[in-house]
Each structure stands twice: as structure tokens, then as C-alpha cells.
Amino acid sequence: MDRRSFLKSAAVLSTASTLPPLAPAVLAAEGEPARVRKYNVLGKTGLKMSDISFGAGKLPSASMILRAVDRGINYFDTAPDYGQSEKLIGEALSRHKGRDKMYLASKFCRAVPYQDGISHLYPGATKAEYIASVEESLKRMNTDYLDVVFVHALGEKPEYEAQKQRLTDPEMLAAVADLKKAGKVRALAVSSHGAHNMETLALDAVQTGHYDILMLAFNFLTFPKVPEVLKAAHAKGVGIIAMKTLAGAKDSGVKPEGATPFPHAAFKWVLQHPEVSGLVVTIKTTDELDLYLQASGQAFAAADQRALDHYAALFGSDYCRTGCGTCQSACPAGVEIGAILRHHMYFADYGDEKRAMQEYAGLERNAAVCETCADNDACNAACPYGLTVGEKLRAAHRTLSWDAPVAKG
């Protein structure tokens, strides 16, 4: 889509209905690569995104983007602080004039961590800095507009009011107004993967009326208030994208007889919610691309539930539920439990070691105090999912601290 068509694209759709798929609505024939089979309208933006979409946080090469486009993926999520991701997308665009086949989403963010290990722009940044963030993304990606720009990682710090203020920062909103007017940004979005007040902040975002899209952590392992958020967002035409759908991504590939592969089951579970237009999953290899796309356009079935039950039995008492926070009040020391366990997951399960350590270093209340817990691991009893929280926090501290002794085992 060129700038002119983009500016003319004023179709505002109030529901996330399913459009006719661009690819055949049947499984790819034996030997043929899997491809996207379903596209859904993303709320009032009118964007029609692939149900399985591309998280470019660990993008290995420009050619991976081109492969994904060939398979029908049209929505790509990146950020200035995702390593070389934006540059590689730019390389893909310059090699293959495929901008009209892609929706590009990036973040209000600096390319390098700032102050306390966080790269995202916060209130205090000027309108000019918000605009510069987008301009630099455009330059790196070799394009002249973003389809979506995010206020990213809402709830990454515990102070609720300060996080809520990010939603209505007048400098940010003024920048968005200018960027939209100039045709450089199409939609404003907000994302949250916890660890603090995710659902409450998401509802706040919907109520501001400023946001076109919400991207939330959402998977089959307990998000009791997310359905309420989905309904509120849907009622206002706010499009919903799911992330963190693999619930920790601990799958070993072993599955019980008659069960579908775990990623397919996890994706289908999320996508069966009619308010969810699509999901973003990190894709690093062609094998992952092949595997994940097999779930596109498929209905959730009994074999999927078997796969989820198996995963929950294996890992349910190991996975800290995004945005849960139930145990937080049990710790008199105020240790940032959810955030620490999330950073540890990034390190141990996602292979995102450097970033996990940088962000851990930026926490105000890390798990150093857990090494000599004066409260007899009170957090353990407060976790309804049976996590041995204190033990996990001590292990996380040893793993994530630059100066802590190396964790054994």
C-alpha cells in the first residue's frame, strides 16, 4: 500500500469479523509448506491480519521475513530495541518490494536501554522524542509509514498510577496526532505482558478512547480477567492481538497419543476467542514457521485440549501466570515477584539472556533479599498454582545478577 492509498483507507469496522481467507481454507497438501489460512479484521483499524503473525524479536535474517510473506503472514511486530530486527526488515523491504503485503508494527522506544534498563519512552519524553522514535524506526525499516505504533509493556513497573499516566501522556498523544496527520502512523496501540496490573491497565486503555489496538499476554493457563477486557475492547471496536500464547514455551515436543502438537493447541485455544484477531509469536527458524502455520484457520478440538492438559500437568506448577500478582502482597519486602520470574523465563526458556539481565538490573526491588528471607518464604503459600516461589526467586537472582554467584545445575 502506498502513502496515498493508506491515507484514503478510512474503513472503520466495528467488529473483528473474519474475511474470506486469501489462501485455500484447507490444510496444505502433503509436501507443500504450511501457510496462513485465515485473516481477521483488527477492530476499527480495518487491518486484516493473519491469525498467526510474526514476532520479530529474534529475527535471524531478512530472508526469514520474505519467507513469512510468501506463506501469507502479513503482520510483523518489531521494536527499536529488538536487536537488528528493524534493520533486517528494512533489508527485506529493499530486496523485495513487498511493503503492500505487510503491516508493520513498532514501539515508542529507544534502540538502547535507557536509565534503569528500560528502553521504552515514558512521560517526561517530549513530543519531539516520540516523533523521533518513529522517524528512526522508519529509517531503519526503509519505509515511510508504520501501520501501528505501540505504547509498549504497560505494567512493567509496579506503580499503578505512573503506568496509567503513560496512556494519556499529552506529549505522546500530540506526537501521535501529528504522525497520523502526516501519514506516518496508522493506528495507536498499547501492549502489556504484566507483570503488574495488566488487566486493569488494559481496561483503562480502552476507556481512554485513544487506542485502536490492545496486545495482551493471553494463554490457556489462567487469565481470569482477560475475557472482561476482551469484551470491553470489542464493544469499542478496539482490536485484540494475543502474545505469550505458548505459556512459557517449555514444550519438549513429547505429546500424549492422540494429542495435537502443543503449539497448535495453544494457538487454537487463544484464537477460538472471537474478539482475538490474531496472535504474534516469535519465529526464528523455518521449522518454527512451518510448525506454527499449520495451526492457522483451524478450530480448537478435543485433541488440542489433551495437549493442553498434558502441558499443564508437566509445567503448570512451574509457570508464573503473566499479570497474576496474587502472591505479591505476601512479601513484606515488596520483591517484584512476577517481573523477576518473567525475566527468568526470558533467560531460561526464550534464550534472551542479555536483555533479561539488563532488565533485572533495572528493578527497584530484586530478589537479593530472598537469599536470606526473613519471612520464611511466605510467598510460597500465597501462590494458588503451587509454585515454589521463594526457591525460584533465589535461582532467578543467581542467574540474572551480574555479580551473584552462578546458579548450580
Burial-class residue 29 by CB neighbours within 10 Å (0-12, 13-18, 19+): exposed
Q: Which stretch binds ligand SF4 (CB under 6 A): 158-166, 231-239, 263-271, 389-397?
A: 389-397
Q: Which stretch binds ligand SF4 (CB under 6 A): 107-115, 199-207, 290-298, 388-396?
A: 388-396
Of the pair 23, 324, the CB lying nearest ligand SF4 is at 324
Examine residue 312 and tell whether it contacts ligand SF4 (CB under 6 A): no
Cβ of residue 386: shortest distance to ligand SF4, in angstroms? 8
d(CA 73, CA 133): 26
Examine residue 377 and tell whether it contacts ligand SF4 (CB under 6 A): yes
Examine residue 217 and tell whether it contacts ligand SF4 (CB under 6 A): no
Of the pair 248, 362, the CB lying nearest ligand SF4 is at 248
User: 203's torsion region: left (phi>0), alpha (psi -120 to 50) or beta?
Assistant: alpha
d(CA 340, CA 304): 31
With CB under 6 A as the contact rule, the residue among 140, 321, 343, 355 that binds ligand SF4 is: 321
Examine residue 158 and tell whether it contacts ligand SF4 (CB under 6 A): no
Cβ of residue 326: shortest distance to ligand SF4, in angstroms? 4
Site string for ligand SF4, 327-366 (x = CB under 6 A): x---x-x-x-xx--x-------------------------
Cell triple for residue 317? 506448577
User: 99's torsion region: left (phi>0), alpha (psi -120 to 50) or beta?
Assistant: alpha
Judged by CB under 6 A, the number of residues near ligand SF4 is: 26
Residue 163: alpha-carbon gap to chain centroid: 17
Q: Which stretch binds ligand SF4 (CB under 6 A): 94-102, 127-135, 138-146, 369-377?
A: 369-377
d(CA 214, CA 395): 33
Cβ of residue 375: shortest distance to ligand SF4, in angstroms? 4
Cell triple for residue 98? 513487498
Residue pair 275/49 in contact by the 8 Å Cβ criterion: no
Q: What are the φ/ψ torsions at residue 229 (nearest 5 degrees)?
A: -65, -45
**360: helix, coil or strand?**
helix
Examine residue 198 and tell whether it contacts ligand SF4 (CB under 6 A): no
Amino acid identity at 162? A
Of the pair 16, 340, the CB lying nearest ligand SF4 is at 340
Q: Which of 116, 103, 65, 113 is nearest to 87 (CA)?
A: 65
Residue pair 251/311 in contact by the 8 Å Cβ criterion: yes
With CB under 6 A as the contact rule, the residue among 13, 369, 404, 407 that binds ligand SF4 is: 369
Of the pair 22, 333, the CB lying nearest ligand SF4 is at 333
Cβ of residue 49: shortest distance to ligand SF4, in angstroms? 30
- N-term to C-term CA, the chain: 52
- DSSP letter (8 states) at residue 253: S
Examine residue 387 and tell whether it contacts ligand SF4 (CB under 6 A): yes
**384: helix, coil or strand?**
coil
Cell triple for residue 226? 482477560
Of the pair 278, 390, the CB lying nearest ligand SF4 is at 390
With CB under 6 A as the contact rule, the residue among 167, 187, 348, 393 that binds ligand SF4 is: 393
Which residues of the chain form contacts with ligand SF4 (CB under 6 A)? 320-321, 324-327, 331, 333, 335, 337-338, 341, 369-370, 373, 375, 377-379, 382-383, 385, 387, 389-390, 393
